[in-house]
Amino acid sequence: MAAEDRSLRVLIAGAGIAGVAAAISLSRVSSAVSLDVQLYEQAPEPLEIGASIALSPNGMRTLEKLGVHKALSDEVGYRGPNGIPQIFRHWKTDQVISADTYTNVPNPRHRTTRFHRGHLHAALFEHVPSRFIHLGKRLTRAEANQNGVTLHFEDGSEAHGDILIGADGICSKSFVADYKLQFSGKVFMRSTFDDSLVEGKIPSLPTDSMHWWGPCDNFFASKLGKNQYTTVGAYDDPRTAEKFEKGISWDQSGDVNFLRGKYKNWNPTVRALTELTPYTNLFPNFAGDALPTWVFASRATLIGDAAHAHGGAFAAGGSLALDDALALGLAFRHVFKPSNSGQPFSLDDIRKALGLYSNTRQPHTARLLRIVHNQIEKRGVQFDSPGEEDAALVTRMRSRPNTEGLSEHDVEAAFVAALEQTGAAEAPDQSQALRSTDERADESRVTIQLKGSNL
């Protein structure tokens, strides 16, 4: 393939946490000055949308590496005072059964931090000049072939570039026509509100983030940055995925009395929290299988929830998206070396950069997806007596999967390992190895059909 001698235009579809972080990483981490990064987002403006979001130490370290220092301050996020990421309590007795801990997090600023999603998103947005962000651009179709990538928008306009990063979230499995999301059976009832609504109103309200587990349902409560507070009730919904999709869309208003009814027999702290929660929004939970490849037509890849639909398990979505973005920047820096800035690039270079990114991130997220699907399959176990059910609950709480490999994951070390594995600069095109025969046959032209997103 002949080398091209202009700057590389990177189109990013979706400006959520992953898309914005990718733009920052490509501009800063890659140091490849010839990159021209353009972001396309369906929302007409960046709204303070969503509820609470947590970043674990890996996500916090990555924010620092991306230079988003404001989000590490106590002003935007909340870290519990006792150096404990999260405490697990019994639904009825309120007894502490277990807790998450840190293994190697010496810097307190890297401890698990809880934000209103809108505040974290805004802190990231500040680092992308507005001239690179195109709002109100709802993608309907994308194409990638030997000559470049094209995005087609609902308003009839198009954008053309050299590389496409699909960052359009869980509902849009852009590159895999028959990709199916599976309803996990859980619905989250989320609320964020001013902390003055609960602080001082509930006797001995814990200052750490609390997760109460019941036999089926859970309840989470925590302070957030900027004097916000969150409650999240998770319950089993017996509807099938098909019925569910028709019944509830993501972030739809819920009925706060339903929340209160669900937890009316729980311990007094949980009951009081539900009474003081002013509203709920519903987030049905979906997950998908690991994708066989993240590289398409040598020019396109996925990032964030679009790459790994893990359904929010272990509150890892935000941190995974940030680590994806960092890995992408590292891969670009390695292939499009800053010292070669202004030099021509080839399709092989793009393929190498995307392959390196995929090799860094795909195995890690595939492991997580296996755990998520195992958990979905295990649900609905019946017990002979309440005593047996309670004993099983306590055992489950004490033997939670060790998530340190997730929450303290070192993405830079994973990148170095991927480099070594693939033979440094001459990394083979893993995308070819991972792609199915049918996909390889259609190498010259990949048409991406976007499922409608209801975010």
Ligand X SMILES: Cc1cc2nc3c(=O)[nH]c(=O)nc-3n(C[C@H](O)[C@H](O)[C@H](O)COP(=O)(O)OP(=O)(O)OC[C@H]3O[C@@H](n4cnc5c(N)ncnc54)[C@H](O)[C@@H]3O)c2cc1C
Are the CB atoms for 440 and 432 separated by under 8 Å? yes
Indicate the residue among 18 and 105 with the shorter CB distance to ligand X: 18
Q: How far is the CB of 65 from ligand X (least distance, A)?
A: 17
Does 168 contact ligand X by CB under 6 A?
yes
Applying CB under 6 A, among 9, 49, 70, 275 the residue interacting with ligand X is 49
Angstrom distance (rounded) from CA 429 to CA 433 = 7
Does 182 contact ligand X by CB under 6 A?
no
Applying CB under 6 A, among 134, 190, 333, 364 the residue interacting with ligand X is 190
Task: Retrieve residue 159's tokens.
Answer: 């954008």
Where in 257-316 is the site for ligand X (CB under 6 A)? 304-306, 312
Residues 203-242: x where in contact with ligand X by CB under 6 A, - otherwise, as a string: ----------------------------------------
What b-and-e string marks burial along 260-280, b requiring 16 or more CB atoms within 10 Å of the CB? bebbeebbebbbebbebbeeb
Residue whose pair of structure tokens reads 């195992």 in the numeric block: 374
Does 256 contact ligand X by CB under 6 A?
no
Does 166 contact ligand X by CB under 6 A?
no
Indicate the residue among 50 and 233 with the shorter CB distance to ligand X: 50
Indicate the residue among 252 and 257 with the shorter CB distance to ligand X: 252
Q: Measuring CA to CA, which residue among 333, 349, 315, 345 is closest to residue 412?
A: 333
Angstrom distance (rounded) from CA 353 to CA 350 = 5
Where in 312-331 is the site for ligand X (CB under 6 A)? 312, 317-318, 321
Indicate the residue among 77 and 304 with the shorter CB distance to ligand X: 304
Q: How far is the CB of 23 from ligand X (least distance, A)?
A: 11
Does 12 contact ligand X by CB under 6 A?
no
Task: Retrieve residue 88's tokens.
Answer: 């697990």
Q: How far is the CB of 40 from ligand X (least distance, A)?
A: 6
Give the list of residues 6+ apart from residue 272 with CB closer than 8 angstroms, or none. Answer: 198, 201, 202
Q: Measuring CA to CA, which residue among 76, 45, 48 is closest to residue 63?
A: 76
Where in 409-438 is the site for ligand X (CB under 6 A)? none
Does 184 contact ligand X by CB under 6 A?
no
Number of residues that bind ligand X (CB under 6 A): 35
Does 450 contact ligand X by CB under 6 A?
yes
Does 59 contact ligand X by CB under 6 A?
no
Does 13 contact ligand X by CB under 6 A?
yes
Angstrom distance (rounded) from CA 112 to CA 90 = 22
Residues 24-43: x where in contact with ligand X by CB under 6 A, - otherwise, as a string: ----------------xxxx
Residue nearest ligand X by beta-carbon distance: 16
- The 158-161 sheet, strands edge to edge: 158-161, 148-153, 139-145, 445-449
Does 143 contact ligand X by CB under 6 A?
no
Q: How far is the CB of 377 from ligand X (least distance, A)?
A: 22
Indicate the residue among 53 and 163 with the shorter CB distance to ligand X: 53
Are the CB atoms for 51 and 232 separated by under 8 Å? yes
Q: How far is the CB of 254 from ligand X (least distance, A)?
A: 13
Indicate the residue among 51 and 60 with the shorter CB distance to ligand X: 51
Are the CB atoms for 108 and 43 separated by under 8 Å? no
The torsion defined by the Cα of 51, 118, 116 and 201, in degrees rounded to 10, comes to -80
Task: Retrieve residue 241's tokens.
Answer: 């995925």
Does 53 contact ligand X by CB under 6 A?
yes
DSSP string for residues in 167-212:
---TT--TT-TT--EEEEEEEEEEEEEEGGGTTTTSTT--SS-EEE
Q: Measuring CA to CA, which residue among 47, 31, 21, 7 is closest to residue 128?
A: 21
Indicate the residue among 21 and 35 with the shorter CB distance to ligand X: 21
Task: Retrieve residue 126's tokens.
Answer: 């500040």
Does 51 contact ligand X by CB under 6 A?
yes
Angstrom distance (rounded) from CA 23 to CA 129 = 10
Query: β-pairing, 228-236 with 252-253?
Result: unpaired
Q: Which stretch binds ligand X (CB under 6 A): 14-22, 68-76, 218-226, 335-343?
A: 14-22
Indicate the residue among 168 and 349 with the shorter CB distance to ligand X: 168
Q: Measuring CA to CA, which residue among 60, 52, 356, 345 is closest to residue 221?
A: 52
Q: How far is the CB of 204 from ligand X (least distance, A)?
A: 27
Where in 72-111 is the site for ligand X (CB under 6 A)? none
Does 172 contact ligand X by CB under 6 A?
yes
Q: How far is the CB of 112 from ligand X (least distance, A)?
A: 13
CA atoms within 13 A on the CB side of 83: 7
Task: Retrieve residue 9's tokens.
Answer: 């235009």
Applying CB under 6 A, among 138, 226, 260, 271 the residue interacting with ligand X is 138
Q: Which residues bind ligand X (CB under 6 A)?
A: 13-19, 40-43, 49-53, 117, 138-139, 167-169, 172, 190, 251, 304-306, 312, 317-318, 321, 450, 453, 455
